[in-house]
């Protein structure tokens, strides 16, 4: 029978994308106040801007994940029409992924074990030549975060595409409610957000909300909060046998 560590009734992982400056300025200090650890799926530009602070965050127990080098997404978005997954081959996306792992290794001294799909997309090419790159990801990472979908029981987790619950623009009540449901169900809930700023960021979680949510988490003895890689390792090693 599967059990979470230390008699916890559920697991929660917080993840943030793109290495945005607001994560360094507000988000990480908030996690540090409550001695909680999160996963950050970084991009080279954001990493460069706050190089020494990212190194400090990783040393302090936060997890650094791969989010590719140049964040290719569908050309249907304005920001990616010149870097569209429709124009990528599997070889090219593989270079994006391995290049980002090389960069992370050169900065932090170890290769990332988790990945987040840019825009939650999992395929490259168009029409008949459209191909999933999930197999490439499965070969290289312990777990990869997608988006959408409900939190899962440990037995049901798809490590090649973890369901994730959006924190961007959510309220404290919604986020605590989602964790209470995960606790009732014995599930692993993975959160995903972008900016972490005071007020109401348009693509992000309000710092006030994040603070209230983390305070709540820190007070629950039966909620296990850990980075994605750590929960994935625990789940995989405790599922079998
Ligand atoms: Zn992203």
Give the domain ranges of the chain.
Answer: 5-239
Q: What is the distance in A from the centroid of ligand 1 to the CA of 199?
A: 21
Mean predicted confidence (pLDDT) in 14-25:
98
Q: What is the distance in A from the centroid of ligand 1 to the CA of 233?
A: 24
Q: Where residue 99 falls among pLDDT bands split at 50, 70, 90?
A: very high
pTM (global) more than 0.85: yes
pLDDT, residue 240, reads 67
Kindly provide the residue ranges of all beta strands, DSSP E only, lying in 56-180, ordered along the sequence: 63-66, 114-116, 123-124, 131-132, 143-145, 165-166
Q: Where residue 121 falls among pLDDT bands split at 50, 70, 90?
A: very high
Residue 95 exposed, middle or buried by CB count within 10 Å (0-12, 13-18, 19+): middle
Q: What is the distance in A from the centroid of ligand 1 to the CA of 121?
A: 10
Q: Where residue 239 falls among pLDDT bands split at 50, 70, 90?
A: confident
Instruction: Tell me the C-alpha distance between 228 and 206, whole Å.
Output: 22
Q: Where residue 67 falls among pLDDT bands split at 50, 70, 90?
A: very high
Q: What is the distance in A from the centroid of ligand 1 to the CA of 213?
A: 22
Q: What is the distance in A from the centroid of ligand 1 to the CA of 97?
A: 13
Mean predicted confidence (pLDDT) in 223-233:
98
Q: Where residue 126 falls among pLDDT bands split at 50, 70, 90?
A: very high
* Domain 5-239 in CATH 3.20.20.370: yes
Question: Is 241's pLDDT higher than 60?
Answer: no
Q: What is the distance in A from the centroid of ligand 1 to the CA of 43?
A: 8
């Amino acid at each position: 029978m599967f059990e979470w560590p230390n008699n916890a009734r559920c697991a929660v992982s917080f993840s943030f994308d793109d290495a945005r400056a607001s994560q360094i300025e507000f988000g990480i200090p908030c996690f540090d106040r409550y001695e909680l650890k999160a996963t950050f799926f970084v991009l080279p530009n954001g990493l460069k801007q706050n190089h020494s602070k990212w190194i400090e965050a990783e040393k302090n127990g936060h997890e650094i994940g791969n989010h590719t080098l140049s964040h290719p997404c569908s050309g249907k978005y304005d920001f990616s029409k010149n870097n569209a997954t429709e124009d990528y081959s599997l070889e090219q996306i593989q270079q994006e992924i391995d290049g980002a792992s090389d960069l992370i290794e050169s900065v932090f001294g170890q290769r990332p074990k988790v990945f987040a799909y840019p825009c939650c997309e999992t395929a490259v090419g168009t029409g008949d030549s459209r191909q999933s790159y999930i197999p490439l990801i499965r070969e290289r990472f312990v777990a990869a975060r997608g988006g959408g979908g409900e939190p899962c029981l440990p037995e049901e987790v798809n490590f090649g595409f973890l369901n994730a619950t959006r924190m961007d623009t959510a309220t404290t009540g919604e986020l605590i409610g989602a964790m209470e449901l995960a606790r009732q169900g014995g599930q692993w809930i993975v959160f995903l957000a972008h900016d972490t700023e005071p007020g109401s960021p348009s693509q992000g979680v309000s710092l006030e909300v994040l603070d209230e949510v983390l305070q709540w988490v820190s007070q629950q003895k039966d909620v296990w909060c850990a980075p994605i890689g750590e929960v994935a390792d625990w789940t995989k090693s405790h599922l079998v046998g």
